[in-house]
Amino acid sequence: MRRRPPYLARTPMSEPLCFVLIAPAQESPATRAIDVERIHTEMLTPAVRAAGLQPVFEHAVLGAADTPTFERLVLCEYALVDVTCADANLFYTLGTREAFRRGSTVLTCANDRTHSFDAATPGAISYAVDRDGAPLDLAASIARVAARLLETRNRPAQTPLFQLLEDFTGIAHDKADVFIDRARIDQSRRDEIVRRTRLPAEVALSELRSYEAQLGPLEAVDPAVVVAQLLAYREIEAYDDMIRLADAMPPALGASVLVREQYALALNRAGRDDEAEAVLQELLATRGPSSETYALLGRVYKDRYDAALQSGDRERADVWLAQAGDTYLKGFEADPRDTYPGVNALTLIASRDLNDARIAEVTPVVRYAARRRIAEGKAGYWGHATLIELAVIAGDESGARAALAQALEFKPRRWMRQATLKNLRLLRHVGFGAEWLQGLEQQLAP
């Protein structure tokens, strides 16, 4: 079983991550008497914890080619870097981080150490060391570093480099679907991952697991490849493998929004809906409203509605139906461009009460958003699937058939078809579409 180094042990997701980097002492008269282990354990890590952050420790000198470590540095919300023994590689990396995570890095340096980079480290917090290179005046040094870290928490930075994971500027529901195409992944690896998802399910699962085993320790793998592997498991509906892989990821990657959302999706599909709900509620509490997070939470409640209905508890089913509709609607309100939570909200609200005033208010907005996305060539399958459901709610058989034909041209994956099929069956069971809708379901069935 693959073991994670202790400094990368999973930490509570409620506390932001701080990448702690201290370069090993160089063999030179100016730097060799630096006890980096004691500086790390006695000063830097306690300061990070005092600031309410979780430390992710990397004891290495970073170089431009060290992609996995470099990307973990950028993924963490904050960084604490000791530059006492730094060289050009470390300062290059710090400069790159500053470009993407401006104002989120705190520097420290032993006050009796000099090197040619002093001019590049204005504002570094100095500390005293004894003759053996161990830190002195610990309480005062820890307090100064913790205070500086707390200041950075009041001005968090955003990074375009990881928008696919953290702050996707497009439609939130699209970010997982476009990840493999837009992420910086070597073409051969990209092709290998995509090829495996097109194989028969059992063969695909076996090959994906084999490919994952070949990657080696995840801490040393390009984060984009790890996430692509996660999404490949999703494509073949291997939800237990998604959960296992997400649990094994380095903390900085595992805590990213995209991974946490997909982790919750997998938990729910695996029947662990309470855990899925907790992950999504935590994301909303810590990251704020998101159309995709609300949509995934709406699906949790929608599945509970189905379970209550199947058990014959109609009163409880109605409660979950109402909560699912309300939750999807919050998702659409978070981003009215995102038609996925919008159309799900309308489907559930209409299934419960066709006279609900929100239907007339929201339907034109969802339809306009879907048509704009289609006109811009950005809709894909989901844009046309949205128009199918809107047409069914409106009783427009010809419109539904036309939208279905266009949706099928995108050759949607099995799980995508099932998502739409589930909604159409729900609408038919409450009286929409009758026989003609059943014909559409047959065409859509995987």
Domain extent listing, the chain:
6-161, 163-262, 289-446
| Gap between the Cα atoms of 298 and 419, Å rounded | 13
80 forms beta bridges with: 20, 106
| Gap between the Cα atoms of 371 and 366, Å rounded | 9
CA 227 to chain centre: 9
Q: Which of 197, 173, 185 is nearest to 226 (CA)?
A: 185
3-state DSSP assignment of residue 14: coil
The pLDDT, as a whole number, for residue 186 is 66
The pLDDT, as a whole number, for residue 32 is 54
pLDDT less than 50: residues of the chain:
1-12, 28-29, 60-65, 116-120, 156-161
Q: Which of 290, 228, 300, 306 is nearest to 264 (CA)?
A: 300
pLDDT tens digit string along 257-295?
889 999 999 999 999 999 999 999 999 998 899 999 999
Q: Which helix (H) or strand (E) holds 80?
A: strand 78-82
pLDDT tens digit string along 42-93?
999 999 999 999 888 765 444 444 566 666 677 788 889 888 877 777 777 7
Q: Which of 10, 119, 2 is nearest to 54 (CA)?
A: 10
Give the torsion through C-alpha atoms of 267, 273, 274, 276, to 10 deg. 40
The pLDDT, as a whole number, for residue 10 is 39
Share of the chain residues as helix, strand and coil, in percent rounded to the nearest 5: 65, 5, 30
| Gap between the Cα atoms of 98 and 42, Å rounded | 26
3-state DSSP assignment of residue 109: strand
Cα–Cα–Cα angle for 305, 308, 312, nearest 5°?
135
Count how many residues are written for the chain.
446
Superfamily designation of domain 6-161: Response regulator (3.40.50.2300)
Reported pTM = 0.69
The pLDDT, as a whole number, for residue 168 is 60
CATH architecture of 289-446: Alpha Horseshoe (1.25)
